[in-house]
Amino acid sequence: MLHEHRVLTAHQITALAFPSFRSGRMRLRELFQWGVVDRFQPFVSVGTAPMHYVLAPAGAAVLAAEDGLDVKELGYRHDRAFGVAHSLRLAHIVGVNEWFTALVDHARHPSPGEHATLDAWWAEARCARHFGDLIKPDAYGRWTAQGQTVEFFLEYDFGTEVLGKLTGKLTGYAALAEATGITTPLLVWLPTSRREATARRLLHRAWRELDDPDSVPVATAAAELLNPTAEHPSPADEVWLPLDNHGATPARRALHQLLTAWPHVPPPVTDDEQGGADSLALMAPAPAPMPPATSRGPSTGRR
């Protein structure tokens, strides 16, 4: 996960793979001492930032050996991996990873009668390798809950990007849909409801000007809509508002319910299904995220 997503905080790693922060902290300390992971703590003006972890040389050697590769073939360089500590995009990268980590945490702590999984999570670099000639989303994901699956691209707005640049990306997503023949929803995550309202006006104007608007279903949500008193708030909650409801009453929906707003979008197929709708996830399978915890404790699979 560190190799794929570049940097994860101690809290994010705990949510992904450990039953408690204490057990995660102890394990991470051992991995750091063995040179499997490296760590840094960014400066913040208020409070204390959590420890941030990146892949270290020993960890890269293990991953390369598992795949029968040399470390160079893995595409790993320690200076580049640790360089994210000084990147101007560090907060944005951590924010995107927090977004997906919250989904995994939600799946590991479901409500009574609920079953959910994050089936795929591609980092920005992986998306760029596959779609970069047309569009470079912040991430790609695939979420299943209550028997419904939705795959999506994510545009994570940190509140600093000019919204006109965000809306200009719709033409790239339309070009990708035309090239692949696959209609993939676009989720736009914004920090506040006020910024979401402004973004929706601009997005709707640009969306209507597309040659085939239905090829780019768009939904927006704002971080401040999450319930601060919930034990495990996440983007899976009822915070999503489709840009076009196809005649249905506008209403916030849970992530897995979004396809009900777009009847023209077929559900993605799974690996063992034959025929039917295509799926971007089948074009180049990505490393699966950590599975939900079971009664036997956290997964002991590949980290």
Q: Which amino acid is at 162?
A: V
Which residues does 68 contact at the CB level (< 8 Å), separation at least 6?
A: none
Whether 79 and 39 share a structural domain: yes
Range of the domain at 54: 1-87
Q: Does residue 276 have a pLDDT over 50?
A: no
Whether 133 and 104 share a structural domain: yes
Whether 79 and 168 share a structural domain: no
Each residue's pLDDT tens digit, 222-237: 999 999 888 889 999 9
Calculate what percentage of the chain has a pLDDT beyond 90: 75
Domain annotation covers residue 64: yes
Domain annotation covers residue 297: no
Instruction: Please state, rounded to an integer, the average pLDDT across all residues of the chain.
Output: 88
Whether 76 and 196 share a structural domain: no
Domain annotation covers residue 296: no
Model-level pTM?
A: 0.88
Domain annotation covers residue 277: yes
Each residue's pLDDT tens digit, 6-29: 999 999 999 999 999 999 999 999
Whether 194 and 156 share a structural domain: yes
Whether 20 and 61 share a structural domain: yes
DSSP per-residue codes, the chain: -HHHHS-EEHHHHHHHH-SSHHHHHHHHHHHHHTTSEEEE----SSS-PPPEEEE-HHHHHHHHHHTT--HHHHT--HHHHHGGGG-TTHHHHHHHHHHHHHHHHHHHSPPTT--EEEEEEE-HHHHHHHHTTT---SEEEEEEETTEEEEEEEEE--S-S-HHHHHTTHHHHHHHHHHH-----EEEEESSHHHHHHHHHHHHHHHHTSSSGGGS-EEEEEGGGS-TTSSS--TTSS-BEES--TTSPP--B-GGGGGGG-TTSPPPPPTT--SSS--GGGTSPPPPPPPPPBTTBS--S--
Calculate what percentage of the chain has a pLDDT beyond 70: 87
Q: Does residue 277 have a pLDDT over 90?
A: no
Domain holding 42: CATH number? 1.10.10.10
Whether 118 and 262 share a structural domain: yes
> Residue 112: its pLDDT value, please?
84
Q: Does residue 203 have a pLDDT over 60?
A: yes
Domain count, the chain: 2
Each residue's pLDDT tens digit, 39-89: 999 998 888 999 999 999 999 999 999 999 999 999 999 999 999 999 999
Domain annotation covers residue 286: yes
Domain end call among 87, 104, 120: 87
Domain annotation covers residue 303: no
Whether 43 and 189 share a structural domain: no
Domain annotation covers residue 27: yes
> Rounded to an integer, what distance in angstroms lies between the CA atom of residue 277 and that of residue 98?
30
Domain end call among 68, 87, 106: 87
Domain end call among 87, 115, 149: 87
Quickly state the pLDDT bin for 286 (edges 50, 70, 90): very low
Whether 17 and 146 share a structural domain: no
Look at 61-65, 202-206, 296-300 and tell me which has the smallest mean pLDDT.
296-300
Residues 209, 243 contacting (CB under 8 angstroms) = no
Quickly state the pLDDT bin for 294 (edges 50, 70, 90): very low
Q: Does residue 282 have a pLDDT over 70?
A: no
Whether 244 and 126 share a structural domain: yes
Whether 177 and 275 share a structural domain: yes
Whether 230 and 279 share a structural domain: yes
Domain annotation covers residue 52: yes
